Amino acid sequence: MSANIEPDPSIIGTIAKPPFVRLPDPARLFADRAARFRALASGHQLEPYLKLLAGISQAQSDVQQGLPEPRMPDTATLSRAHDHGMPPLDRNAFNPDDAFDQAFERLLARVELLEMPPQANAALVRVKAAERAARDMMIHNVLADAIPFEALAEHVFVAAALQVHFVRLAAKLEEKSLTDLGHGICPSCGGAPSSTMVVGWTGADGTRFCSCSLCGTLWNYIRLQCTLCGSNRKMQYQEIEGSEGVIKAEICEDCRGYVKVLYEQKNRDLEPIADDVASLGLDLMVQELGFRRGGVNPFLIGY
């Protein structure tokens, strides 16, 4: 493992007019993520964990069948959010509805059947036994990106349920109603990206999209500009030797933060959450150089 810090040579060579956002498809997102986790797990140093995450992702896909429709913000709330530059899905105002409660209970029941380490199983038991007030506090912690270190494992299961619910909500938004809310802010729910991708889509080839760790929204963002602070003065890129430039860490010396860039042009199988977890070695290497992780991934809590 070695550092390779240099300007990113993969500069946009074509003129593309990408859409501002691509909203998630709940019917595919988690199933595709589960398949990617399974593919990455074989022979990986994190194989047991990646297999567990594959099972959780598959459960996230399976529990959606027959769920009630999630409660969307009313028209006045959506209009007010648009007019004032706020996310239409307000994390701070989230109140669990019947759709979320059912998704949560179904997910816990499915995940209980998975093979997992004793520590993870004990955490799952604690989540299942938690009273409403305790669950609401865990929900608040996840949405505020303020998860206590001593309860990391419990919050993974809560985060998985919230992902299901917010992906279903985001899928119902209108793309044309969403606007740029600032650096590193999801236009749908106000969350931080897990990672970013340089895509190979028709009409958007070579452009970059941030991927929301909660609601799955992808939004277009300028390349060669820090996702966290917007600076483009001291940007460098680091990768693990032998990775062939498929995944890099975009590091900013102004804010001392970094976010990963996944080059889908080079590997069409890349998935923002799964490949972020599987490239944990890159995180550890960059953090040794004194940079903080700016991407938020509920499955990398604690790193």
Question: Domains in the chain, ordered, with CATH?
Answer: 25-174 (3.90.1670.10), 176-300 (3.90.1670.10)
CA 282 to chain centre: 17
* pLDDT exceeds 60 at position 173: yes
- Structure-derived torsion over alpha carbons of residues 270, 192, 232, 266, reported in degrees to the nearest 10: 0
Candidate from 7-21, 101-115, 161-175 with smallest mean pLDDT: 7-21
Instruction: Give the count of alpha carbons within 13 A of 35, CB side only.
Output: 8
Across the chain, what does the average pLDDT equal?
A: 92
The CA distances from residue 179 to 18, 82, 223, in Å, are: 14, 7, 18
pLDDT above 70: percentage of residues in the chain: 95
What pLDDT score does 12 carry?
Answer: 44
Q: What does the pLDDT average to over 179-189? A: 94
What pLDDT score does 15 carry?
Answer: 55
Tens-digit pLDDT profile for residues 274-296: 999 999 999 999 999 999 999 99
Q: What does the pLDDT average to over 193-207? A: 92
Q: What is the pTM of this model?
A: 0.92
The CB-based long-range contact list for 119-126 (8 Å cut-off, 24+ gap) reads: 119/153, 120/52, 120/153, 120/156, 122/153, 123/151, 123/153, 123/154, 123/156, 123/157, 124/154, 124/157, 126/154
What pLDDT score does 8 carry?
Answer: 52
Residue 67 DSSP label: P
